[in-house]
Structure 1
Amino acid sequence: METQQKKLYVSASDARAFVEAVLCGNGIPHDNAIIIADCLIQADLRGVDTHGINRIPSYMARVRKGVLDAEASPSLNQITPVVAQVDGKNGFGFIAAHMGMAKAIEMAKEFGIGMVSVKHSNHFGMSAWVVQQALDADMMSLVFTNSSPALPVWGGRSKLMGVSPIACGAPAGAEKPFILDMAPSIAARGKIYKAARRGEKIPLDWALDADGNQTDDPNKALLDGVMLPMGGPKGSALSIMMDVFSGVLSGSAFAGHVVNPYDPSKPADVGHFLVALKPDLFMSLQEFKDRMDYLYTRVVGSEKMAGVERIYYPGEIEQLVHEERLKTGIPYVEAEIEALNQEAERVGVAKIVTSIGY
C-alpha cells in the first residue's frame, strides 16, 4: 500500500550550503564541492528530484568505499583545435563534465564548434545542467553519457544497455530556451529509486520483474527486474547510440560494463560526449534568437488536442518549476531528510535546515 510522507521545504540556498558542507567533510576540495552542489540543486529546483541532493548518500558511500576518488582533479588533452579529451580520473562526473563543456565552449567561440570526449568518469546527475552551462554562454549543445545496465535490448530480457539520457539545447531571445533532456526508457531509473524511497508504486508499463512480468513494485523492478525502453526498438537503439558515442569512442566502459552509481564495489568508468556549437555561424546571434522565439510561439500556440489546456515547449515545465521552487523552497519527504542528516552526522556538519511551508 502506498504511503504518503509529509513534505518539508528547504530553501535553495540552505540546501546548497548543506551539500557543500557534507562534500567538504568527505574530502572533496571546496572549488569542486561548489560545482557539485550547484548541479544537484539545479536538478531539485527543476523538479528533477531523482538527480538532486538525494544522490548524496549513494555518492558518499562510493567515496567511503574508495571506488570514487573524492580528491581527483580531471586532466585535459587537446587532440585537434576543435577536439579535446578529459580524463575524469575516477572523480566526480560533475567536475569532469563541467571542465569538458567549458573547453567545448572555448573552442566553439573561436572555431564555431568544440567537441570533448570524457573518459573514466562517474554519474554526473541531470544532463540539463550541462546544457544550461552552454546556454549561459549563448551556445547550442549536445550532451551524451552512457550508464550502467538497466534496459534489455529490443527482443532481449536481461539488462545490457543503460538508461542513458539524450540532451541538447539552444538559446532563445525573449522566450524560453530549447532544453531537451530525456532518457531512452519509458521513465528515468531515478524515478523508480525515488518511488522505492518514498514507498510509492510505479506505473505498470515502466518495468518488468525477475520473471519478465509487468510490476508496479519499484523494489521488484530494481532487484532483478528490467526497465523498458520507450517506443520498443527505437528506445533500445537510442540507448545503444549513447554507448557508441560515450563509451566506445571515449575508451570508457561500454556494452553493459558501466557500474551502477548505487553499487559501491568498484569504479563506474562512465563516458560522456559533449559538443558546443556557436549559433551565429550562418546569421547574427540576434537573428538566430528571433528565429528560436518564433519556433517557440509556433509550438506552444499550435492547435490543442481534445482535453489539453496548454502545450509546453521542451524543458519549459522544468523551467517553470524552477521559478516556483525558488519562491517556495524545495520539497523533500522526511525519509529523505533523515538520510541526508545521517550524512551530516557522519562528518560532523550542521543538519539540513527544514521548515514546513514558506
Structure 2
Amino acid sequence: MADQKTDQQMHNINHTNLQEFVERILIANNTPPPHAAIVSKCLVSADLRGVDTHGSNRIPSYMERIRQGALNPSAEPTVTQATPAVAQIDAHNGFGFVAAHEGMKRAIEMAQIYGIGMVSIKHSNHFGMSAWLVQQALEGGMMSLVFTNSSPALPVWGGKEKLMGVSPIACGAPGGAGRPFILDMAPSVAARGKIYKALRRGEKIPTDWALDRDGARTDDPAEALQGVMLPMGGPKGSALSIMMDVFSGVLSGSAFAGHVTNPYDPSKPADVGHFLVAIKPDLFMTIEEFKGRMDYLYKRVVESERMAGVDQIYFPGEIEIITEEKRRKEGIPFAAAEVEALRKEADLVNVEHLKL
C-alpha cells in the first residue's frame, strides 16, 4: 500500500551524498571503515529500492545501541567450517550487515565448488532489508534463500501476546533478458518498520495492520507499537514466523521463542540469528537454459491477463528495481523530521551535516 501523505516538508537526497554521510557517522561511532562501507551501502540500497523502513533512518537507533553498549561496532565475525558446504559464523554482537555479508560471501564460495553453500549466523543484530543479501547472491550468479528471526511483534495464531518476530523471508534467482526474481516479504500484513516510519512522519496507518494493547484495531502508529502486528493470511503468516525462528534461532544457537531484543531497545544485545543458502543455478542444466526458462516465466507472469482495474502486472522485486532507477536520478525522499534526526546524530560526533 502506498504511504499516506505527510504534511512535513520533503527533501530529495542524492544517494551518493547519503551513503558518504552514513559512512562518516558510522566511522565516528567506532565502526571500522571496511564495516562502515558495508553497512552504509546496505542501508542506502534499501532507501534506493523504496524500502525506507530499513534504510538510513535506522541510523539513530543503531547508534544509540552502540552508545549504550548493546552493539559492538568493531566486532569481527569468526567462521567455523562444519562441513565442506556448511559453515557457521559468530557475529560477536557486531553489525548484522557485516556478519551476513561475510556469510553470503562464504555461501557463494562453497556453492561454486559444491553446488550449494549454507551458512548459519549466531549472536548477530538486525541486518536491514533482506533483499540486499539476495542481490549479493545474484551478483555472484547464485540463487538464494535468506532467513532471519527478529524481536517479538506477532502473536501466534490464536494467541494475543507478542511472541514471534515479523521476520522476513527472502529468496532470489537470476534472470536472463528479463528481471531477476527477488522476493522479500514479512509474514505480517505490513512490516513493523512501516509503523515506525508512520510515527516519524506523523501519519496514520491502515486499520488492518495492527492491534493496540487492548486488542482493538488502530490507525495510530504509537498505539500499534504498544500492541501487536497482524499476521498475513491468519495461521499461514503465523506459521511462517515460527519457521523463521526454527531455521534462524533454534538452529543457530541464537535467541528464539520471543527472546530476541528489539533493535530500538538499547538495553541489551539483540542476539539475532540468520540462515543463508546459495545455490548454483546450473546444477541440472546449462546456465543459458536456466536463464531462458526464467525469461519465459517472467513473460508469462507480466503478460498474463489482468483483473479489472489493474494496469500492469509486476514480477516479484520489479517495482523495487524501477523505484531504484528513479531514485538514482531524482534522489531519495526524506521527511524534515527524518533529516533532523540524522543531523542530531552528526552533531553528537562532530560530523558535517547531510547535504540536501
Taking structure 2 as the reference length, the TM-score comes to 0.98
The structure 2 residue matched to 1:214, chosen from 201, 209, 217, is 217
Q: Is the 8 A contact 1:172 1:292 kept in 2?
A: yes
- Give the C-alpha shift of residue 295 in structure 1: 0.4
Residue in structure 2 matched with residue 239 of structure 1 by the alignment: 241
1:56 aligns with 2:59: yes
Residue in structure 2 matched with residue 285 of structure 1 by the alignment: 287
- Give the C-alpha shift of residue 240 in structure 1: 0.1
The structure 2 residue matched to 1:251, chosen from 247, 250, 253, is 253
The alignment partner of 2:171 has SS state of strand
Q: Could you tell me which amino acid in structure 2 is paired with residue 266 of structure 1?
A: K
The alignment partner of 1:335 has SS state of helix
Residue in structure 2 matched with residue 167 of structure 1 by the alignment: 170
Distance 2:147 2:5 in 1: 35
- Give the C-alpha shift of residue 340 in structure 1: 0.2
Task: Give CA deviations for 1:64-120 in whole Å, capped at 9, x if unaligned.
Answer: 000100110100000000000000000000000000000000000000000000000
1:96 aligns with 2:93: no
Q: Could you tell me which amino acid in structure 2 is paired with residue 259 of structure 1?
A: T
1:7 aligns with 2:10: yes
1:264 aligns with 2:245: no
Q: Is the 8 A contact 1:2 1:201 kept in 2?
A: no
The alignment partner of 1:14 has SS state of helix
Q: Could you tell me which amino acid in structure 1 is paired with residue 137 of structure 2?
A: A
Residue in structure 2 matched with residue 80 of structure 1 by the alignment: 83
Residues 100 and 2 of structure 1, relative CA distance in 2, 3 Å threshold: closer
The structure 2 residue matched to 1:334, chosen from 328, 336, 345, is 336
- Give the C-alpha shift of residue 2 in structure 1: 7.8
The alignment partner of 1:77 has SS state of strand
- Give the C-alpha shift of residue 298 in structure 1: 0.3
Residue in structure 1 matched with residue 232 of structure 2 by the alignment: 230
1:43 aligns with 2:46: yes
Q: Is the 8 A contact 1:128 1:180 kept in 2?
A: yes
Distance 2:7 2:260 in 1: 34
1:185 aligns with 2:188: yes
- Give the C-alpha shift of residue 4 in structure 1: 1.6
Task: Give CA deviations for 1:18-42 in whole Å, capped at 9, x if unaligned.
Answer: 0000000000000000000000000
Distance 2:140 2:83 in 1: 22
Residue in structure 1 matched with residue 143 of structure 2 by the alignment: 140
Count of residue pairs the alignment pairs up: 353
Distance 1:2 1:325 in 2: 18
- Give the C-alpha shift of residue 3 in structure 1: 4.7
Structure 1: runs of 5+ lacking an equivalent: none
The structure 2 residue matched to 1:121, chosen from 120, 124, 128, is 124
Q: Is the 8 A contact 1:2 1:199 kept in 2?
A: no
The structure 1 residue matched to 2:111, chosen from 108, 112, 119, is 108
Task: Give CA deviations for 1:99-145 in whole Å, capped at 9, x if unaligned.
Answer: 00000000000000000000000000000000000000110000000
Q: Could you tell me which amino acid in structure 2 is paired with residue 256 of structure 1?
A: G
Residue in structure 1 matched with residue 134 of structure 2 by the alignment: 131
Q: Could you tell me which amino acid in structure 2 is paired with residue 257 of structure 1?
A: H
Q: Could you tell me which amino acid in structure 2 is paired with residue 23 of structure 1?
A: L
The structure 2 residue matched to 1:316, chosen from 303, 315, 318, is 318
Q: Could you tell me which amino acid in structure 1 is paired with residue 324 of structure 2?
A: H
- Give the C-alpha shift of residue 184 in structure 1: 0.0
Residue in structure 2 matched with residue 344 of structure 1 by the alignment: 346
The alignment partner of 2:187 has SS state of coil
- Give the C-alpha shift of residue 46 in structure 1: 0.1
Q: Is the 8 A contact 1:221 1:227 kept in 2?
A: yes
Q: Could you tell me which amino acid in structure 2 is paired with residue 328 of structure 1?
A: E
Distance 1:106 1:249 in 2: 22
Structure 2: runs of 5+ lacking an equivalent: none
Q: Could you tell me which amino acid in structure 1 is paired with residue 271 of structure 2?
A: D
Q: Could you tell me which amino acid in structure 1 is paired with residue 164 of structure 2?
A: M
- Give the C-alpha shift of residue 6 in structure 1: 1.3
- Give the C-alpha shift of residue 230 in structure 1: 0.2
Distance 2:42 2:6 in 1: 29
Distance 2:7 2:290 in 1: 46
- Cα RMSD (Å) of the superposition? 0.9
The structure 2 residue matched to 1:33, chosen from 25, 28, 36, is 36
Distance 1:282 1:227 in 2: 41
Distance 1:10 1:98 in 2: 26
Task: Give CA deviations for 1:257-305 in whole Å, capped at 9, x if unaligned.
Answer: 0000000000000000000000000111111111101100000000000
Q: Could you tell me which amino acid in structure 1 is paired with residue 298 of structure 2?
A: Y
**Aligned-pair identity (%):** 70
The alignment partner of 1:79 has SS state of strand
Distance 1:307 1:158 in 2: 38
